[in-house]
Structure 1
């Protein structure tokens, strides 16, 4: 059929639909991230009642709120090795079981020391979940929708935070000694359903090939790929990365010990190639800056920040905190649909730039309120604080939040992925623990406005760091990532990738 000018018209090829099986697998695996989100959200409100019921100091308060992040280091460090040993799927089940025990211990805690034991057990479970969920999701996702699917862990972290806020408000009417125990103990419920749901998932095809189980891996790849051709291409790429000959079609093959995780730390830390060194810097760096820009201070201490901003009533503080949870969850949903359209790099840079403005606005508003004369109450700084907090969490959720997990899980080579991601998560948890356990002390030392000016300064450094070092990874297969890395400056890596694409097109 021709148009008015005689030019033949044609229908563009239909865009392939998202793979529903890969979507379901990613959804189930990422649900483990609810555990961390719920704990973060619920502790922000529960601590108001824990402090009164157990009669703890401000220092004990910030320790109990942030210590879970430090404890989770043990889980994330062990998860890399565990997932290479028993598989990604059973590691997720293990994470749910550990958190279940921790939530019950916290719910039944009668003393501060008892509560800290529960925080330790729950923290180990959270560390396992944080590391393994994005790794599994990246390994089952087809390249066309990997950004969308690997953003799911951050989606569920935000959903868990919102559930925690709702739980705070729902149980706040109970007697003081019961309310906070129900808030913490209810966290055991989702871990049971998560562990059972994960059993319905297949194992990661990349892990299966690392074990020499080619037949099982082919079945999973056929189900999680957008076409038979993509399935064959993914299989060939993974076999090459695992050191298995391409002409090998046996269902079960012998693999070297390296496929079981031996020698990974040497190749990752002690004798890395230039590409691996660049990848490691990027993965650890993005995890560090995600937390160093103050997100946990805002999420964990929302009631305290709203109190300093002029909202004195505890119920109103919890309601305002719920608004933070709703905005954060809404914008993470928006981000999931932009990651495979706008790309990682553009979203990341625009997100951090917006966060700088929001943090500066919050710092200015809090500083003005803090220096107000007694009896004189200005409304504009209160409005500025509320708008800045909501815009900050929205901008974080649309870029910095999900891209941290997407980026760090897709850039490592297959054999180094589990352990490399565990290092990123370790940096994330250490930084989060330091930030959350020092926030109250920091506000006393340099004022609450000064604390957020400091976070804004860190965000400026992060923006420069990302601009210089981070190439675009959208649309590249996991096995192609090493072609984007190995040069220090971003524009040199991008030029290298463009040249390779041109060579492919020519050939």
Structure 2
């Protein structure tokens, strides 16, 4: 297949993926502003100098509603289509942000965060699903990491917005960031509704074959790639491609006939727990849950507190340090996104978990040994460097790979629902991290670091045992590999692991062999 001419307009699926990824920017901005806002002098006066528990509750109040709505996002996406679901969710998110910016008392502020969470859970889990469904296999990794890249850009925007408004000297210092966020959300919701094409997969599954063909043309997906994508349907798709002289079907003509397989409503709901889908659902939920228990949002939400604990005393210095950390995260996420399909999903996750646990254990050990002094000494600078290093390692490993992996290993018929459940687990663990981190930091200088480091280490070990490789595989090849019982399915659970250890080594059947580029 010939490479596209870079002087020409990018294919429609690239433009649609970029637009869709802007939804991650909203989430990043909220994550970037909520931590600095809650330690602003005008906000603490407004709330009444909250205790660490109340501080954690204010920050985390967005997450339980996000988890609940995330569980239903798959049904919304399947019923209304991906773009409409994204637009509705981001609009609700913006309404919540506007209520926070206009709140007259703390109860109104928390209600705004709850509404914001409902919208966030609805739209955020649909982003990767939509991009995954419109992307050719060779571009899927890079494009589906787009939302994560925009999340990091949102972090930069959020931290530096607070850095710029902190000295206003009125409640406008913490209201303005939320007002701006509400404006961003309204613009994104409108753009998604107007310009995002419907997913051709969704159209095909709903029997709208002519509309699906028009959507493929608008997205500019080559015929050969459509064939790879369509083979994931729970429908009978018969395609006849006329290849050119070199055997490449992309230049030929493709005709297709689609016959939908009828299913009951109950069966569709329970499909995520069917024998072929259940192992992949559990693996996705585990990875998405442990992604947050690594402590990343404890670092992002409470970066000013962590830097203050390490010895940066003034609000401006902690906000600046937080903004610099966001810039570093954004900078390293760019090459990580571009190289997403060149790195092994499995190896990246395992090595990332080991490296993150090492940085957490190092910080915890320094605090436990009482070598970190706020006013002097090298240990505090080691802690500050480790905070940056932890965030960098996370962004080039777990942030890039896990969300892609959780979506791409699912069968087509359950992908939206299973990904939503996995995101629900992610929200719940995120809530726990956001709620308990201030209390842990107040009661113990090192407890949070050992907790998060232990979770990262456990995940790395579990992935070494159970996580199959998927890099470069088409969605159909992933489906076939799981159907054959290779990977974390039949014959490779704990009993297989123990059996292979007794034989003196790790058996090759525990993981799928490394995939070649599609």
Taking structure 1 as the reference length, what is the TM-score of the superposition?
0.88
- CA deviation vs aligned residue, 1:244-301 (integer Å, no higher than 9, x gap): 3526999996735539x652332212xx21x422211210011011100101110111
Counterparts of 2:189 and 2:158, CA distance in 1: 20
Deviation of 1:31 after TM superposition, in Å, equals: 1.0
1:255-334 alignment runs, 5 A limit: 255-258=260-263, 262-269=266-273, 272-273=274-275, 275-334=276-335
1:90-105 alignment runs, 5 A limit: 90-105=84-99
Residue 31 of structure 2 corresponds to 40
Aligned length: 476
Counterparts of 1:367 and 1:63, CA distance in 2: 27
Residue 441 of structure 2 corresponds to 443
Mapped contact 1:215–1:250 kept (Cα < 8 A): no
Residue 455 of structure 1 corresponds to 452
Structure 1 residues 332 and 491, CA gap change in structure 2 (3 angstroms): farther
Structure 1 residues 389 and 222, CA gap change in structure 2 (3 angstroms): same
Residue 3 of structure 1 corresponds to none
1:211 aligns with 2:206: yes
1:70 aligns with 2:86: no
1:104-503 alignment runs, 5 A limit: 104-198=98-192, 199-222=194-217, 224=219, 227-235=222-230, 237-238=231-232, 241-246=233-238, 255-258=260-263, 262-269=266-273, 272-273=274-275, 275-368=276-369, 372=373, 377-445=375-443, 447-485=444-482, 486-487=489-490, 488=492, 491-492=508-509, 494-495=511-512
Deviation of 1:24 after TM superposition, in Å, equals: 0.9
- Larger proportion of helix: 1
Of 38, 44, 52 in structure 1, the residue corresponding to residue 45 of structure 2 is 52
Most deviating of 325-334 and 211-220: 211-220
Taking structure 2 as the reference length, what is the TM-score of the superposition?
0.86
- CA deviation vs aligned residue, 1:428-461 (integer Å, no higher than 9, x gap): 000000111011222344x121210121111110
Deviation of 1:14 after TM superposition, in Å, equals: 6.3
Counterparts of 2:164 and 2:187, CA distance in 1: 22
Counterparts of 1:14 and 1:257, CA distance in 2: 39
Counterparts of 2:478 and 2:5, CA distance in 1: 24
Residue 502 of structure 2 corresponds to none
Counterparts of 1:174 and 1:422, CA distance in 2: 40
Deviation of 1:15 after TM superposition, in Å, equals: 5.4
Mapped contact 1:213–1:253 kept (Cα < 8 A): no
Structure 1 residues 440 and 243, CA gap change in structure 2 (3 angstroms): same
Deviation of 1:218 after TM superposition, in Å, equals: 2.5
Partner of 1:258: helix, strand, or coil? coil
Counterparts of 1:495 and 1:255, CA distance in 2: 31
Structure 1 residues 233 and 430, CA gap change in structure 2 (3 angstroms): closer
Counterparts of 1:451 and 1:262, CA distance in 2: 42
Mapped contact 2:29–2:157 kept (Cα < 8 A): yes
Structure 1 residues 496 and 262, CA gap change in structure 2 (3 angstroms): farther
Q: Which runs of 5+ in 1 are unaligned?
A: 1-12, 502-507
Counterparts of 1:399 and 1:471, CA distance in 2: 16
Counterparts of 1:159 and 1:98, CA distance in 2: 22
Counterparts of 2:35 and 2:239, CA distance in 1: 56
Deviation of 1:471 after TM superposition, in Å, equals: 1.1
Structure 1 residues 192 and 371, CA gap change in structure 2 (3 angstroms): closer
Q: Give the RMSD, CA atoms, in angstroms.
A: 2.5
Deviation of 1:394 after TM superposition, in Å, equals: 0.4
Deviation of 1:56 after TM superposition, in Å, equals: 4.2
Mapped contact 1:468–1:491 kept (Cα < 8 A): no
Partner of 2:207: helix, strand, or coil? coil
